[in-house]
Amino acid sequence: IQDPTGAATFEEWKFSRVSDARVLGRYQFTSQEGSTGNAGVQFGLKLPTGDYKLENADGTPAERALQPGTGSTDLILGLYYAHPSVHGFGWFMQGSYQHAVATRDGFRPGDQVSVTGGVTYPITQQLSLLAQMNVLHKNRDSGPNAEPDLSGGNFAYASPGLSFAMSKNLQIYGFFQLPVYRKVNGIQLTAERSVVAGASMRF
């Protein structure tokens, strides 16, 4: 870390913890006669399950933006459209907006807008190849414990992946995300690559 005196200051945090969990639901509109696609709404919450008070070996707490969790409960709203497979390929588009509705200890994470588009290609009745492009805009954080000048930015990721149908109503999936564009405010840590995994269930 650059120091105004000209000397270098070394600081380190190491932790492996569960981050904030997102619980999402979807409601699909009734398809009109002759329609080949499915549209619907997405809604849910980001829950404050991740720790936001971790300290390093020297007892110095990490900045709130570096913590596994934000301490906030966020509302998530979105829309999606999915087109079934034609000659093997299917495609979808979805967008969502995330806003903190309850915060803790003087920190409010910036609102987020994300847009995702992708294609699917079934290999077998259960296994499918996936490819996505994920675009994210994040506003600056705010509050007494935030660092507005060092938060927020725009990101784009290319994400190949796989999905597997465990049953008629349960599907698991995983993606390997590679950044293709990153522009952040100030100086921030960013990931060179990441892995995303999840499950979806129909009711």
pLDDT at 1 over 80: no
Read off the pLDDT of residues 10-62 as tens digits, 9 standing for 90 and up: 778 888 888 999 999 889 887 766 667 889 999 999 999 999 999 988 888 88
pLDDT at residue 48, as a whole number = 96
Q: Residue 161: which pLDDT band, with cuts at 50, 70 and 90?
A: very high
SS3 state at 94: strand
Mean pLDDT of 125-134: 94
What is the pLDDT, as a whole number, of residue 88?
Answer: 78
Q: Which pLDDT value is given to residue 35?
A: 67
Confidence of residue 86 (pLDDT cuts 50, 70, 90): low
Confidence (pTM): 0.83
The reported pLDDT for the residue numbered 85 is 72
Q: Which long-range contacts (CB under 8 A, 24 or more apart) does 164-172 make?
A: 164/126, 164/127, 164/128, 165/125, 165/126, 165/127, 168/202, 169/201, 169/202, 169/203, 170/199, 170/200, 170/201, 170/202, 171/199, 171/200, 171/201, 172/197, 172/198, 172/199
